[in-house]
């Protein structure tokens, strides 16, 4: 009896002790727990249980005049005739910055090479680079001169007079949709991509041609974020103050690294952008808000990447659409990814089995969160 009681007491003490430990750890790491778990649980429950974003309409609307003035910066470099007289399949905006000369140059000589695309694919793809002005006043003058020289050579820059900073990305988004509305509304599709994204344009064009045969309306494809929570950490560049966005979840949106919309959606987004407060600096989230007001939903395409770089392999090249984080390897990747052998790599039963196996090994590793999801191995 006596022994038993002691055992029980010991047990209780152990129990209490471990509870305290857990509590202590929780208290110490609360910020982490809150950041990684609580905010996601809250936002997913909101997204999947409530799933009503009517507050966007109610709380973030502004008058058309206010919205119009928020994106009304004068053009420093503009082209009125880029699309005139062309049957443009795809208008491809590359979000660039004044000093990224090298990135633009490597895009022009690889996946953005008009001559190649016209000759090999027989379609018109217009690649234009969009930017503001350097935020550094001292280097602005010299950079502008270089930009004008670059533009007189290639004629593919669009520049407005706002500071080209991360927190002004929404202004760049407005630039794209307004310019498309005014100067290229007949392009069948519009794409927006970062200048460190690799776009496999031949694969993309084949995919879009398939969509055209199905009518090509109501299209918004990319790497979809569903029920993403606003980041409340001040140190993050995606930090969202509660005063600006107080709800627990963003509406669905596609990663800004690269997404495609059909022209009817582009027009709807443009219209919606004229009714919303563009203070929200995260451009792809703002796009999601516009789409929500316009009642357009994004569709997932497993070969659009969000943050990560696609693995280097012919079985991947055969399917990939976008891959993020490329600068020095663009020429290499373009050569490899468009090599004639790639188109045959998964032909026949053996080829299919080979590529599925390779893709499972490459994409379905635990904790592998780069580029494409494991699902992509089976498509």
Q: How far is the CB of 92 from ligand NAG (least distance, A)?
A: 16
For 239-285, strand residue ranges (E) read 253-262
In angstroms, give the least distance from the CB of 114 to ligand NAG: 8
Q: Is 48 helix (H, G, I), strand (E, B) or coil?
A: helix
* Distance from C-alpha of 46 to C-alpha of 48, rounded to nearest angstrom: 6
Q: Is residue 354 at the binding interface for ligand NAG, with CB under 6 A as the rule?
A: no
Q: What spatial distance separates the first Cα and last Cα of the chain, rounded to whole Å?
A: 66
Crossing angle for the helix pair 283-293 and 263-273, nearest 10 degrees?
100
Beta bridge partners of residue 93, listed in sequence order = 128, 192
Taking CB under 6 A as the criterion, the residue among 111, 162, 303, 317 binding ligand NAG is 162
Identify the residue among 42, 45, 124, 165 touching ligand NAG (CB under 6 A): 165
Q: How far is CA 368 from CA 324, 335, 359, in A?
A: 15, 26, 13
Residues 36-95 close enough to bind ligand NAG by CB under 6 A? 54, 57
CB of 342 to ligand NAG, least distance (A): 8
Supply the minimum distance, in Å, between the C-beta of residue 327 and ligand NAG.
17
Alpha-carbon distance of 268 to 295, in angstroms, equals: 9
Pick the binder of ligand NAG from 42, 45, 113, 373 (CB under 6 A). Answer: 113
129 touching ligand NAG, by CB under 6 A: no
Tell which phi-psi region holds residue 93, choosing left (phi > 0), alpha (psi between -120 and 50) or beta.
Answer: beta
Pick between residue 106 and residue 305 the one whose CB is nearest to ligand NAG: 106
Judged by CB under 6 A, which of 163, 185, 231, 374 binds ligand NAG? 163
Residue pointed to by tokens 């790599």:
345
Residue in the structure block whose two tokens are 């009681």: 5
- Among the listed ranges 110-118, 123-131, 229-237, 352-360, the one in contact with ligand NAG (CB under 6 A) is 110-118
What's the min distance (Å) between Cβ of 115 and ligand NAG? 4
Which residue number, 276 or 377, has a Cβ lying nearer to ligand NAG?
276
Adjacency order of strands within the sheet including 88-95: 75-77, 157-163, 124-133, 88-95, 189-194, 253-262, 220-225, 299-300
Please choose, out of 85-93, 150-158, 159-167, 245-253, the segment that lies near ligand NAG by the rule CB under 6 A. Answer: 159-167
Binding site for ligand NAG (CB under 6 A): 54, 57, 109, 113, 115-116, 119, 162-163, 165, 167-168, 292-293, 295, 340-341, 344, 347
């Amino acid at each position: 009896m006596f022994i038993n009681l002691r055992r029980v007491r010991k047990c209780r003490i152990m129990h209490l002790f471990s509870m305290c430990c857990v509590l202590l750890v929780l208290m110490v790491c609360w910020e982490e727990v809150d950041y990684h778990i609580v905010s996601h649980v809250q936002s997913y429950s909101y997204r999947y249980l409530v799933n009503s974003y009517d507050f966007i309409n109610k709380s973030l609307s502004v008058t058309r005049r206010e919205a119009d003035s928020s994106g009304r910066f004068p053009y420093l470099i503009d082209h009125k005739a880029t699309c005139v007289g062309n049957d443009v399949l795809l208008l491809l905006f590359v979000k660039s910055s004044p000093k990224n000369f090298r990135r633009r140059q490597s895009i022009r000589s690889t996946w953005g090479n008009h001559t190649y695309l016209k000759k090999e694919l027989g379609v018109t793809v217009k690649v234009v680079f969009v930017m503001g002005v350097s935020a550094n006043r001292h280097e602005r003058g010299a950079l502008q001169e270089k930009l004008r020289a670059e533009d007189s050579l290639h004629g593919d820059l669009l520049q407005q007079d706002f500071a080209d900073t991360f927190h002004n990305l929404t202004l760049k988004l407005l630039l794209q949709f307004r310019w498309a509305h005014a100067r290229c509304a007949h392009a069948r599709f519009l794409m927006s991509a970062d200048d460190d994204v690799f776009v496999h344009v031949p694969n993309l064009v084949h995919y879009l041609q398939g969509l055209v045969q199905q009518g090509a309306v109501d299209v918004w494809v990319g790497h979809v974020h569903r029920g993403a929570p606003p980041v409340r950490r001040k140190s993050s560049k995606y930090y969202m103050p509660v005063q600006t966005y107080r709800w627990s979840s963003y509406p669905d949106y596609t990663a800004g690294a690269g997404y495609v919309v059909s022209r009817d959606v582009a027009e709807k987004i443009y219209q919606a952008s004229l009714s919303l407060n563009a203070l929200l600096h995260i451009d792809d989230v703002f796009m999601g808000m516009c789409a929500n007001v316009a009642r357009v939903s994004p569709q997932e395409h497993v070969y659009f990447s969000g943050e990560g770089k696609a693995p280097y392999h012919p079985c991947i090249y055969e399917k990939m659409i976008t891959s993020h984080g490329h600068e020095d390897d663009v020429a290499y990747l373009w050569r490899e990814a468009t090599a004639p052998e790639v188109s045959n790599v998964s032909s026949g039963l053996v080829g299919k089995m080979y590529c599925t196996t390779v893709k499972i090994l490459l994409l379905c590793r635990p904790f592998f969160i780069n580029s494409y999801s494991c699902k992509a191995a089976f498509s």
